Chains A and B, each alone.
Chain A
Amino acid sequence: MIDPVIAQSGDDVLLEVKDLKKYFPVRGGFIKKGVGTVKAVDGLNLFVKKGETLGLVGESGCGKTTAGRTIMRLMEPTGGTIRFNDPKQGWVNLEKMNRQQMRAIRPNMQIIFQDPFSSLDPRMTVFRIVSEPLVINKVASGQELNDRVAELLRVVGLRPEYMSRYPHAFSGGQRQRIGIARALALNPKLIVCDEPVSALDVSIQAQVINLLEDLQHDFKLTYLFVAHDLSVVEHISNRVAVMYVGRLVELAKTDDLYYTPQHPYTEALMAAVPKPDPHMRDRPIKLPGEVASAIKPPSGCYFHPRCRYAKDICSTEDPPLKMVRPEHWSACHFAGELNLRGIVPTN
């Protein structure tokens, strides 16, 4: 069991996730009986401070997207607690809320999706897409609704004249802006950004990243930034959480995590980042074998079969989340004792 040491219900915290679990049944066979469970999120701990960007990184299948959606209650959690510091109601436990109660919270937490094509209903005009949250929550109607949508489009850098068009007329970057305008419509506090730039071209990525940064500054937004691109996450995040097979392995301020990581998996990730600087050529850290299966994870530390520092204890005992130094947690038995390299190669 990971000891839920991260408990920060202070006033500067917006969201606190403790021991979050999301299991999917694996169905198979003739009568479709459950034959196992995929532990997509398996005891995740993290917290997000007001006004910050927390990067949530990990490789495909590590459960970061599921974690983001479960936190927003777009998927039902299997276990754990999700506490949200609602501006009106104060601290609330999202996992205990029913649909009606969630509806009162939803305006404060919104989501931006990865795929700019599937995230916009192709049968709706831009106006209907952006106004939908306002209509559902009966915030505005008539001319007022029209004005709000125009304002939102202007805020994300689109011409309000385009509001009667359909999404298929827009490029990927423009569509992502429409998705951002929709997320902003209800004045949320927290926005879960689910790989918001990974489907975009290099030059368009920068436009959207800058837009997200500007909006955060202007509207005091808090981002949970789920992504696999470590360069983008380093650029945009204040703190970063690293996941491996459904669990948090390390959480720290961005520079601490990138330059002095405290978990061998983070070290391997950092060495692997392709740095756009020919002087920083680097040999990767060899990771033997494959990413552990979320159906049958290994015993002890999930990373131990691939870890070059693994000792006997690693295969038998779950490493607890340890605070290695202020604001820096690592789930490694030897956190703080190993001399790990960061993103910059050390010769």
Chain B
Amino acid sequence: MSNIVTPIPLVPVVDEPVSEVGQLSQWTLMRLRFARNKLAMTGLIGLLIMYFLVFLGPFVAPNEYTFQNSDYIFGNPSQFTLTSPDGQFGLFMYSTTTVLDQNSFKFVVTTDKTKALPVRFFTKGDPITVLGFIQTDIHLFEVDTPQRIYLMGADSIGRDMFARTLIGGQISMTIGLIGVALSLLFGSVLGTISGYFMGLADDIIQRIIEVISSFPSIPLWAALAASLPPVSESFSALNRYFLITIVLSVIGWTGLARQLRAKVMAYRSADFCMAALSAGGSDARIIFVHMIPNAASHIIVSAALSIPGMILGETALSFLGLGILPPMVSWGALLKDSQQVSVVVQHPWILIPGAAVIITVLFFSFLGDGLRDAVDPYSI
């Protein structure tokens, strides 16, 4: 086959300027464009920090998240000072005492500004398991017992809200990712089939998508979640967690499938796919070598943009008591405590997990918008 004889003076080599950016792949160009977007980088770095904190949660938090301190029910967030009452410099926490309020017959935590305890770093505390396998009792920071640090106060049975928010983040911040991954799987398989083969398969898939996306999502999620069995001996909380991600992705995949179908249909008639076809390329080659890599960036963008929806979905379900159930914690489950207005008014720190949801969703939105701008091929 390789018998092209090059005739010597065929065409003079054209000396045209070839752009230096030409050596960079589309992915590299996208990365460069993304890195220029300050808001998107804020989102990315913010999320990285949050994931880091959340997964090292037991180590970062001074208390074990299930530890109940009956002396610290609805206790305030701890207060800190840089000078101790006796004039020393350093980081100190004011000590607290719990007294019974004679009028309301409630225990009230009061801060005693005359006494301060030094904050110690990397010291022993409650035994914990970090990342699921590291057994340790070293915490990032602590004060000497019997006093404890409560950065975000305590809940109705005296558990550390800071520790619980971090542990809850492990669920809330991964459920979106796993849900989107599942959506991606359903969406890309069905979207590609729909767009590439068209015909009857396309018609059926499109009608299914239309039916699913015509349901209001929260009631559908609620109905599906309500049909899951309660946590028991045979049905662990972890099982429930995975089933909830599936519930979330049942709705999530439709948008992705539609976008992918549109992309695949556009690429189907694109000249570069025609060229592969005319060279004898198979369907599999055209789909996997040409269509998927080209659609990949768009898939990533729509995935990133659909994560916030999933996080909010989980929060809503758990808030309603239909999602994550004890003993597991998620931000939605933590917010369940704030259903009573009187509690929120007296102990506003109960709402802190809600702030975590807002920050995470915002960061994911920044990231998604940045990715979307970065994959736009018409800007350099």
Contact = CB atoms under 8 A, between A and B. Distances in A.
Interface of A: 32, 69, 72, 74, 102-103, 106-107, 109-111, 113-115, 118-123, 125, 129, 132-133, 136-137, 139-140, 144, 148, 151-152, 154-159, 162, 164-166, 168-171, 173-174, 177, 179, 182, 184-187, 207, 210-211, 214, 218-219
Given A74-B277, A107-B280, A136-B285, A120 B272 contact: yes
B100 interface: no
Contacts of A32: 203
A179 to B, nearest CB: 8
A119 B275 contact: yes
Task: Please provide the 10 A-B residue pairs with the shortest distance between their CB atoms, ordered closest to farther.
Answer: A169-B22, A165-B22, A119-B271, A133-B279, A157-B11, A169-B19, A113-B271, A121-B272, A103-B280, A106-B280
Contacts of B280: 102-103, 106-107, 133, 136-137
Contacts of B203: 32
Nearest to B281: A136
B91 interface: no
Contacts of A168: 19, 21-22, 26, 29, 377
Contact of A174 (B7, B14, B290, B377): B14
Contacts of B6: 151, 154-155
A201 to B, nearest CB: 13
Contacts of B276: 132, 136
B4 A152 contact: yes
Given A154-B13, A155-B6, A118 B270 contact: yes
B12 interface: yes
A166 B25 contact: yes
B16 interface: yes
23 contacts: A106-B280, A111-B278, A113-B275, A119-B274, A120-B272, A121-B272, A121-B290, A136-B280, A136-B281, A151-B6, A155-B10, A157-B13, A158-B14, A165-B22, A169-B19, A171-B16, A174-B16, A174-B18, A182-B275, A185-B279, A186-B1, A211-B11, A214-B10
B24 interface: yes
A98 B13 CA distance: 41
Contact of B25 (A114, A119, A123, A177): A123
A120 B22 CA distance: 14
Given A121-B290, A157-B11, A151 B4 contact: yes
Given A157-B12, A177-B14, 5 more contacts: A111-B274, A121-B272, A123-B25, A123-B26, A168-B21
A129 B290 CA distance: 11
Contacts of A102: 280
B271 A162 contact: no
Contact of A218 (B1, B7, B272): B7
Nearest to B20: A169
Contacts of A132: 275-276, 279, 281
Given A157-B11, A169-B19, A187 B3 contact: yes
Given A122-B377, A123-B26, A74 B278 contact: yes
A109 B26 contact: no
B293 interface: yes
A123 B11 contact: no
B4 A207 contact: no
B293 A123 contact: yes
A236 to B, nearest CB: 16
A103 B285 CA distance: 14
A301 B170 CA distance: 74
A74 B278 CA distance: 7
A156 to B, nearest CB: 7
Contact of A169 (B3, B4, B23, B271): B23
B294 interface: yes
Contacts of B278: 72, 74, 106, 109-111
Given A148-B2, A162-B18, A118 B271 contact: yes
Contact of A184 (B4, B23, B275): B4
A80 to B, nearest CB: 20
B262 to A, nearest CB: 16
A18 B26 CA distance: 45
Contacts of B277: 74
B25 A170 contact: no
Given A132-B279, A133-B280, A169-B18, A164 B23 contact: yes
A115 B279 contact: no
B14 A207 contact: yes
Contacts of B2: 139-140, 144, 148
B1 A139 contact: yes
B4 A219 contact: yes
Contacts of B275: 111, 113, 119, 132, 179, 182
B133 to A, nearest CB: 39
A286 B190 CA distance: 53
A120 B294 CA distance: 12
Interface string B195-227: 000000001000000000000000000000000
A179 B274 CA distance: 12
Interface in B83-107: none
Contacts of A111: 274-275, 278
Contacts of A185: 279
B50 to A, nearest CB: 32
A86 to B, nearest CB: 14
Nearest to B285: A136
A161 to B, nearest CB: 9
A69 B22 contact: no
Contacts of B1: 107, 137, 139-140, 186-187
A166 B272 CA distance: 14
Nearest to A170: B18
Nearest to B21: A169
Contacts of B377: 122, 168
